[in-house]
Amino acid sequence: MTYAKTAAFTADQQRLACVAKALAHPARVAIIQLLASKQTCISGDIAAELPLSRTTVSQHLQELKALDLIRGEIDGLTVCYCLNTELLRQVQQQFTAFFSAATAGTACGPEDACAC
């Protein structure tokens, strides 16, 4: 019997990887930054701010919404999107802990002699 290799990783590791994957696209980073600067936004306004079609922006919004990084409320014929700041704070803490642990040991860089 085979199983998904992701099952061998902790829930925190899987969540961090999913968020990193979602943020790996510059359009999604731009959407998060735009929503952060405006506090709330309507999907049409987001498409007007980015060099992408409304359809493409909509697909990126759905990716972010699927992870609950953003939330959207239907307002007539439009959807008003906003950041899930509570979740973003949790993600920030996870990334901070991840990078703190990763950089806590001895350095191995261009100036350092690597024992590899």
Position 116 pLDDT exceeds 70:
no
Distance CA 83, CA 64 (A): 10
pTM of the model: 0.81
pLDDT digits (tens, 9 = 90+) for 66-97: 999 999 888 787 888 999 999 999 999 999 99
Helix (H) or strand (E) holding 33: helix 26-38
Give Cα separations from 21 to 44, 61, 66, 97, 111 (angstroms). 25, 14, 13, 18, 31
Strands (E), 7-93: 40-42, 70-75, 78-83
Higher per-residue pLDDT: 102 or 4: 102
Domain 9-98 is in which class?
A: mainly alpha
> Residue 103 — φ and ψ, nearest 5°?
-105, 5
Return the minimum-mean-pLDDT range out of 11-20, 38-47, 52-61: 38-47
Position 102 pLDDT exceeds 80:
yes
